[in-house]
Amino acid sequence: MAILIDPPAWPAHGTLFSHLVSNASITELHDFARKNSLSPRAFDLDHYDVPAELFDRLIEAGAEPVTGGELTRRLIHSGLRVPFKERPKKIRGTLLKLWNERLPGNQDLGEHLLDQWEEPHRKYHNSAHLLEMLTALETLYGEHEPPRAVLLAAWLHDIVYEGQPGQDERASAEFARDVLTPLVAENQDGAALAPAEVQAVAGLIELTTEHAGEADQSMEEAGLGAEDIDRFFDADLAILAAKPDRYRRYVSGVRAEYEHVSDEFFRMARTEILEGFLEREQLFKSERARSLWEERARANMRAELERRHGRAAPTGSGLALRDVG
């Protein structure tokens, strides 16, 4: 466990900058930054950009000076290095291309949605999560194209995110109705969207409150059935089966989004959620998701509980599904 800093070598704003990182946890890094009055705006996903004038003071405060190469190697080894595909600024073009393929002629709306996905308080529920969910849907549908209503629900399911379970989902569903309805009204002849599609999108988002529910009339009219709902839920939870390094970054991101609660409260709440998942007979609803992700997701969650408590996690079945974020 260490806070690391490399020499000032990156020019910007008339000075040189260092990188400040932790090789243990993002929480440790943020704690060190707060104690040393670093601006939150200086944080960039896995490091703080530090001006040369603060270099010596931060070493005196406990940061370990290392070369740039050593800092990078130790950050990668820790699993906290955020790769290209998880950086919202880097993947924006890819997401816009996907958006324009689904709703041509509406790039301004796509730009607006990505602006919200890229809000600075989002550390996990950002556009990287959106891209991962879209990728997971493609995996679950295999050779078939996911229904447009399912894809649009993915784009809008966390469009409002303030860390208020239930309220966020309802607000996101209402937002979806507000922005998609004009796309029907403005195109009465050969409408780009059917009214049932708009209602199906909002309905899917509302179901994410409990990750449970059945297709209503609007979903059926939009061509959606139980399998589509199952795949939508499973894609949202695919992060549970991520590679171990990505899973740890996901957990760190969720913790950062709940930085207003104490470590003890977060530990207790997170433990309750994970144990509830592990006591289920099945984590994922669709057969394909279970075959691809079930085993690895359980291993990730058990490993997280063991890190938190230093003991093996329970197995079994019985409790209802709980939101992981």
Give yes or no: residues 98 and 165 share one domain.
yes
Alpha carbons 196 and 267: distance in angstroms, whole number: 42
- What's the pLDDT band for 201 if we cut at 50, 70, 90? very high
pLDDT number for residue 173: 97
B/e letters for 155-165, b = 16+ CB within 10 Å, e = fewer, are bbbbbbbebee
Determine the average pLDDT of the residues in 246-255: 90
- What's the pLDDT band for 1 if we cut at 50, 70, 90? low
Give the lowest-confidence range in 114-118, 131-135, 311-315. 311-315
Quick one: what percent of the chain has pLDDT higher than 90?
76
The DSSP element (H or E) to which 257 belongs, if any, is helix 244-257
Question: Is position 147 within any domain?
Answer: yes
Give yes or no: residues 220 and 256 share one domain.
no
Give yes or no: residues 56 and 183 share one domain.
no
Rg (CA), the chain: 21
DSSP secondary structure of 2-43: -EEEPPS-EEETTEEEEEEEESS-HHHHHHHHHHTT--GGGB
Q: For residue 34, how far is the Cα from the chain centroid?
A: 24
Give yes or no: residues 175 and 247 share one domain.
no
Determine the average pLDDT of the residues in 286-315: 86
Number of compact structural domains in the chain: 3
The DSSP element (H or E) to which 49 belongs, if any, is strand 48-51
Residue 252 pLDDT > 90, yes or no?
A: no
Among 199, 218, 236, the domain boundary falls at: 236
Give yes or no: residues 68 and 178 share one domain.
no
pLDDT number for residue 44: 87
Question: Is position 242 within any domain?
Answer: yes
Give tens-digit pLDDT for 22-73: 998 888 999 999 999 999 889 988 999 999 999 999 999 999 999 999 999 9
Determine the average pLDDT of the residues in 306-310: 81
pLDDT number for residue 314: 44
Give yes or no: residues 97 and 228 share one domain.
yes
CATH number of the structural domain spanning residue 162: 1.10.3210
Give yes or no: residues 215 and 242 share one domain.
no
pLDDT number for residue 40: 86
Among 28, 63, 81, the domain boundary falls at: 81
Residue 187 pLDDT > 60, yes or no?
A: no
Give yes or no: residues 69 and 42 share one domain.
yes
Determine the average pLDDT of the residues in 234-254: 94
Give yes or no: residues 172 and 301 share one domain.
no
Give the lowest-confidence range in 55-64, 83-92, 254-263. 254-263
Among 52, 81, 110, the domain boundary falls at: 81
Give yes or no: residues 92 and 225 share one domain.
yes
Alpha carbons 132 and 149: distance in angstroms, whole number: 17
Task: Please name the amino acid found at residue 16.
Answer: L
pLDDT number for residue 191: 53
Question: Is position 150 within any domain?
Answer: yes
Give yes or no: residues 232 and 89 share one domain.
yes
- CA torsion sign for 162, 166, 172, 174 is negative
Both structure tokens of 102:
């689904």
Question: Is position 119 within any domain?
Answer: yes
Give yes or no: residues 262 and 304 share one domain.
yes
- What's the pLDDT band for 313 if we cut at 50, 70, 90? very low
Question: Is position 316 within any domain?
Answer: no
Structural domain range at position 8: 3-81
Alpha carbons 282 and 105: distance in angstroms, whole number: 41
Question: Is position 199 within any domain?
Answer: yes
Pairing relation of β-strands 64-65 and 3-5? parallel
Residue 230 pLDDT > 90, yes or no?
A: yes
Q: Tell me the whole-structure pTM to 2 decimals.
A: 0.83
Contact of 131 with 91, CB cutoff 8 Å? yes
**How many Cβ atoms from other residues are within 10 Å of residue 295's Cβ?**
12
Residues facing 19 on adjacent strands: 49
Determine the average pLDDT of the residues in 284-297: 98
Residue 79 pLDDT > 90, yes or no?
A: no
Question: Is position 244 within any domain?
Answer: yes
Residue 168 pLDDT > 80, yes or no?
A: yes
Alpha carbons 249 and 260: distance in angstroms, whole number: 19
DSSP secondary structure of 164-190: -TTHHHHHHHHHHHHHHHHHHHT--TT
- What's the pLDDT band for 320 if we cut at 50, 70, 90? very low
Alpha carbons 42 and 50: distance in angstroms, whole number: 7
Question: Is position 320 within any domain?
Answer: no
